[in-house]
Amino acid sequence: MSISKTPQDLVTGGAGFIGSHLVEHLLQGGHEVWVVDDLSTGRESNLDQARHMAPDRLHFVHSDLSDWLDGAGAKRTFNSVYHLAAAVGVKLVVEDPIGTIETNIHQTSAVMRFVQNSATPLLMASTSEVYGKGVRDRFAETDDLLLGPTTRSRWSYACSKAIDEYLALAHYQQSGTPISIARFFNTVGPRQVSDYGMVLPRFVECALSNQPIQVFGDGTQSRCFCDVRDVVEVLPRMLDRDKCAGRVMNVGNDTPITINDLAATVCDVLNSSSEIVHVPYEQAYSPGFEDLKCRVPDLGLIRSTLQFESTIPLERTIQDLALEYSRAGGAT
Ligand code: NAD
């Protein structure tokens, strides 16, 4: 099939949280975008704004990705592919480790077969979870990965994503397909839902209704949160073959905040009287659940290569999440 002059992009998992923001960003740039999503954790309504922006340039396919790639999609060609479809979220991973492992490895291998031996640039979403429980001030892309034992299912997500990375880099090495890998640290913002264990939307929902905010563990663990609108801006730039093909790059923000401070900030910004309560990990997840104390990205590579800097402060992200939640009448 011939490609029109308008760049045509495929976004797998494009009805998800990060995917739907990426779709809008691509449409804003004049692209035509195909979204394939099985809506397992995504929602078609996440694409409402995109549809409104460019109804003729957005195509939504409700399907399992590998089914579509093997069937109706097999003959299609794209200018770029963004692979975001995955089983995501600590809660989902703990509750359905089989689904997590199978989805992440199977879908990625289907996408790799789809682009193999082609010149189509592919951006694959990975995660800071692959750093596992290593202890460092900052995690850089070439650092060793330290995963927990296979008897702790929490690590199955990290391990499946690490296999995805190996597979993507093997395709780059063996067939020259220009593949880049984005290791996202905690990404937050509008459309993120609390259903699968994401911390910020959960805190915002509780704060808005003045319900107790549950902090898992003692709350001294810290994370770095980056607004999704900052994250999606850099993803098309990561398709630059010369600068990024065959590379892994951390994507995020490098200012850590403890989960206790995050809960307090949410209460402050939303003027909430929610009480902050601590819940042991064993109670929140499962006996023996392992968490990490601190996870800060080394952003040296993405800064020097693509001049990436996040710009949206956490307070604005909290306000925007709250506004969206209130507009939806409390239901996300
Ligand atoms: P999300 O759950 O909102 O998005 C994932 C999307 O993939 C969903 O829309 C889901 O329905 C879809 N999907 C899952 N299995 C599918 C299948 N078999 N066929 C078609 N579609 C399928 O999560 P997200 O936060 O937007 O995550 C997007 C990507 O970013 C994922 O690869 C995830 O691992 C990665 N990531 C996210 C974060 C974060 O903080 N949100 C952090 C690290 C990595």
Burial zone of 233 (CB within 10 Å; 0-12 exposed, 13-18 middle, 19+ buried): middle
Q: How far is CA 141 from CA 177, 186, 238, 300, in A?
A: 20, 16, 15, 10
Closest residue to atom 3 of ligand 1, CA basis: 16
Place of tokens 């990426």: 22
Q: Is 131 one of the annotated active-site residues of the chain? A: no
Place of tokens 């308008």: 6
Task: Report CA(86)–ligand 1 centroid distance (Å).
Answer: 4
Q: Summarize pLDDT for 36-73 with one digit per residue, the tens.
A: 999 999 999 999 999 999 999 999 999 999 999 999 99
Six token digits for residue 45: 């309504």
Contact predicate 14/35, CB 8 Å: yes
Closest residue to atom 2 of ligand 1, CA basis: 41
d(CA 282, CA 67): 37
CATH superfamily of 8-187+227-252+297-303: NAD(P)-binding Rossmann-like Domain (3.40.50.720)
pLDDT given for residue 225 in this prediction: 97
Low-confidence ranges of the chain (pLDDT < 70): 1-4, 285-289, 330-332
Listed by start position, the domains of the chain span: 8-187+227-252+297-303
pLDDT given for residue 281 in this prediction: 80
Encoded amino acid at 302, one letter: I
pLDDT given for residue 141 in this prediction: 97
Q: Summarize pLDDT for 265-296 with one digit per residue, the tens.
A: 999 999 999 999 999 887 776 666 677 788 99
pLDDT given for residue 282 in this prediction: 79
User: Of 82, 131, 157, 196, which residue is the catalytic one?
Assistant: 157
pTM of this prediction exceeds 0.85: yes
Contact predicate 37/60, CB 8 Å: yes
